[in-house]
Structure 1
Amino acid sequence: MSLAQDILDRARAAGVMIATAESCTGGMIAAALTDIPGSSAVFDRGFVTYTNGAKREMLGVRADTLKVHGAVSEEVAREMATGALKHAKVALAVSVTGIAGPGGSEHKPEGRVCFGLAKPDHTFTETIEFGAQGRDKVRAATRDHALRLLLDALR
């Protein structure tokens, strides 16, 4: 059974609706879930917020948070996840914001991705350093890690 199928089965059994808020993956997490027939029973929507403006407008990420911490930060990942939870009115939301590459800086290197996972009563964030392994690999690793976060939250 695929990771996405397991997520959908567990969410269906628990009566949980899911949303995603994605930046560096550009919708890959939502696509993995919606590739499965019947996913609409538990997947409500995905927000692809590639720019800071989109993060503010669609998810309610505060301009001050972006200014102080930058788009690639756990603080922004937290606001993205809680914004998706609020705007989609779901019980579980995952967010990702990172630097897939090429590029990055000494302070925020290529391969750094911040994740958020929001439930109505709790929000979790973490940063993973995937390293400069190339854009495609960083994005795929980000998608897979976000799916594992969703699955863990449904266990």
Structure 2
Amino acid sequence: MSNTSRVLTMWNTLSTKPGGRWAFSRAVCLKAPYFGSIRPHLDALAPEHARVSIRKRRAVQNHIGTVHAIAMCNMAEFAGGLMTEVTLPTTHRWIPKGMTVEYLKKAATDLSAVASPDGALDLATASDYRVRVEVYDKHETVVFRALITMWVTPKDRAAA
């Protein structure tokens, strides 16, 4: 059994083809429909790294015309979850346990989010894995920051 996740294999195959990154992003939204509202576009994916972008459009705006806080939370979870999925060995699984967020500036442009680990991954036992996500505006200013705690456990051998 390969230790490379199916998600990373699919990304590596599709991301090099015309329209492949868009198709991959849409496929993730079909699997987890709540992400569809922000229409995320995955720009980069590798172990310990993910970069996602969204366009500022009416559906993600609040009453003052900036990107809504919850849209940025969804963006952070999309990036952090995909990064975690391709970082963990296929013998383990994860689920978000909590998220702490900071709204630093008004998000008045298209946005990009970068996810990376915020600590070491301990596979010896079920444990927390912290993922840092920073969201940037088109001027590369950090407008939002999230720290997501993922609960990582070995997969049940009977279910695997």
TM-score, normalisation: structure 1: 0.32
Q: Considering Cα pairs closer than 8 Å and 6+ residues apart, tell me whether 1 or 2 has the greater RCO.
A: 1
More strand as a share of residues: 2
TM-score (norm 2): 0.31
